Structure 1
């Protein structure tokens, strides 16, 4: 009998999170944080054994298949948590958000659950499907790597530094295997071979001979990176309590969420400052001087990180779980949305530029590779 499509198998396993959550939520004995953590670990262990027995061939080809399938299960759990906290469903995960990870009930926690339950879930299906078909998934993997890293980094640091630091429960330490899987998956994704670009040496040489002013799309991206770097620096100074009038006006009239004691927005701005700002400078250099082949990979990682971060930050800035005094005022919504949407859009346009027209970023061709073409002419 033929196996069902891989997406169907993974979806069936991951949707098992619904009945499991419902049953566990109805067990009144799950009122202690330690029981919640132990039972969650047991369920994930049994899920892994089921995946291994059903998909031994795929796991032998690429062990990340098992990791993506387990993570797809947790993505469905996260989506259920977000839907329940927003009141769309009930009776599924009260036990976990109450005794396991109460910080998931914040605006930031809800929106990282939405992102994980939609974007990450689709990425897991796509990457597992690529493994099933024995195809590469480097680009998808790099985007997921940036997104997942940003999500877990800001969430963990915010939990430790913010007002929920006194409510850390045993389930918090699930972050350790998450981090280990993240590091292992990142190394495997980077080791995958890139798709060879269809660029002949003459095209590469012609593109790399053009200055920045002769490449209007690249010039626009460089200007975007300059503005994004200035915006990153400014918001970093705002959360570092810069005493200037501009910072005071911005944090009280445009993004008061940056003052929220949950600490997620402050951590987010500092991550932008210490990691996003240097990337903007390096990407600007790569768009100006040819042959920086590293930009194609790191642009994908950066786009995934910024996409996830901006979705969570913008959502939490407006969510009802965020106290009213820290929400974006209605009269500044237009400015807030314009700045933050453009901040998220730019890295994705940079990825499009790198993947669709890669000639400028390829290593310069050796002189002897052009000799046959000159003879033909």
Structure 2
């Protein structure tokens, strides 16, 4: 009797516990090159196992199955680093990727082990039922890409740059696969809802003042853009008093030598800020068909980034001088949570009321046919 695909993914992912425990007991795994080689062989072996035992021919199925295993590996790392369990991944932390000892490393492991793991199970279930997983996939692409870009760059330019080991190379497939997945998912046909031309025309003819939710989102975009620019200037060592006071009194974590927070703010500055500006345009001018898809991608990216950033700034593994001060705890947490919720509200608005983003040309064509 064959297990349902989602349960098969759970069973495969739980192999992470006996495999990591066994490897942890091997004395040979004290050399960085051996650890990297064993890690690559384990992933290759899992891929072959899934290929031989699965009836699916979709490469996404193999990716999600293997990644569900690595998600459990990450939750093991996070739980072990926080002292909840022991005896599983100590060998890997010492000679594989020592930068995972940092608060940021722990936070991204929690995110991968919980959120990404849940997304893999949902996407596998959707595939097995013949349903589209496009929306889940777009959210996952944004989240995973943001995580890897900040993590990899932070490892190289931060204080752990001199401790890069061969196991660092195991991260690159995780950076290449989202690019491949994005090309495949974006090329899939979008299932546009069946909307009457009159309904589309009515929505697209409304001014911003007649769309209160969009008006609120425009307000959020203006505030978020200003906040993004401000924190970008802070990590670029702007000498203004406001920047100096903020980095010492509100978010001293931005000064941490691990470099993850600085890289994160620069990614926000150079990628998220232009996106906010484009969304401002998209909420003013009808027919921006790209909005729903990219809203999901950036919602996933911002959620992962803010969880890891805020969690790291509060985690005891971060040195005390760089942790968020108690007096500033609530303002910092609330502002960062609002910063993460805004893109999700935008994605919700784009998906639930898409008439405003319906292609204008298609709307006019529908009118001609009528």
Aligned residues: 369
| SS of alignment partner, residue 115 of structure 1 | helix
Structure 1 position 141, deviation (Å): 0.4
* Equivalent residue, structure 1, for 2:204: 208
Structure 1 position 126, deviation (Å): 1.1
* Equivalent residue, structure 1, for 2:19: 20
CA distance in 1, matches of 2:364, 2:212: 28
Deviating more after overlay: 171-180 vs 236-245: 171-180
* Equivalent residue, structure 2, for 1:280: 276
Query: 1:136 touches 1:192 (CA, 8 Å); kept in 2?
Result: no
* Equivalent residue, structure 2, for 1:126: 122
| SS of alignment partner, residue 370 of structure 1 | helix
Output aligned runs, 1:157-196, within 5 Å.
157-196=153-192
CA distance in 2, matches of 1:41, 1:369: 54
CA distance in 2, matches of 1:91, 1:6: 30
Structure 1 position 368, deviation (Å): 5.6
CA distance in 2, matches of 1:366, 1:96: 57
Q: Deviations over 1:143-169 (max 9, x none)?
A: 000000000000000000000000000
| SS of alignment partner, residue 292 of structure 1 | coil
CA distance in 1, matches of 2:59, 2:364: 42
Structure 1 position 177, deviation (Å): 1.7
- Please list every run of 5 or more consecutive structure 1 residues that lacks an aligned counterpart in the other structure: none
CA distance in 2, matches of 1:38, 1:282: 44
CA distance in 1, matches of 2:357, 2:41: 47
* Equivalent residue, structure 1, for 2:59: 63
CA distance in 2, matches of 1:136, 1:342: 30
Aligned alpha-carbon RMSD (Å) = 1.1
TM-score when scaled to structure 1? 0.96
* Equivalent residue, structure 1, for 2:337: 341
Output aligned runs, 1:289-300, within 5 Å.
289-300=285-296
Structure 1 position 338, deviation (Å): 1.1
Does residue 90 (structure 1) correspond to residue 89 (structure 2)? The answer is no
* Equivalent residue, structure 1, for 2:8: 9
Q: Deviations over 1:316-351 (max 9, x none)?
A: 001011000000000100110111000000000001
Structure 1 position 130, deviation (Å): 1.8
CA distance in 1, matches of 2:191, 2:368: 25
TM-score when scaled to structure 2? 0.98
Structure 1 position 44, deviation (Å): 0.8
Does residue 370 (structure 1) correspond to residue 364 (structure 2)? The answer is no
| SS of alignment partner, residue 29 of structure 2 | coil
* Aligned equivalent of 2:261, options 259, 265, 274: 265
CA distance in 2, matches of 1:371, 1:144: 39
Query: 1:291 touches 1:362 (CA, 8 Å); kept in 2?
Result: yes
CA distance in 2, matches of 1:29, 1:371: 73
* Equivalent residue, structure 1, for 2:49: 50
* Equivalent residue, structure 1, for 2:243: 247
Q: Deviations over 1:186-207 (max 9, x none)?
A: 1111112212213211100000
Indicate how the Cα distance of structure 1 residues 368 and 34 shifts in structure 2: closer, same or farther if over 3 A, else same: closer
* Equivalent residue, structure 2, for 1:101: 97
Indicate how the Cα distance of structure 1 residues 367 and 103 shifts in structure 2: closer, same or farther if over 3 A, else same: closer
Structure 1 position 28, deviation (Å): 1.9
Indicate how the Cα distance of structure 1 residues 20 and 211 shifts in structure 2: closer, same or farther if over 3 A, else same: same
Indicate how the Cα distance of structure 1 residues 33 and 336 shifts in structure 2: closer, same or farther if over 3 A, else same: same
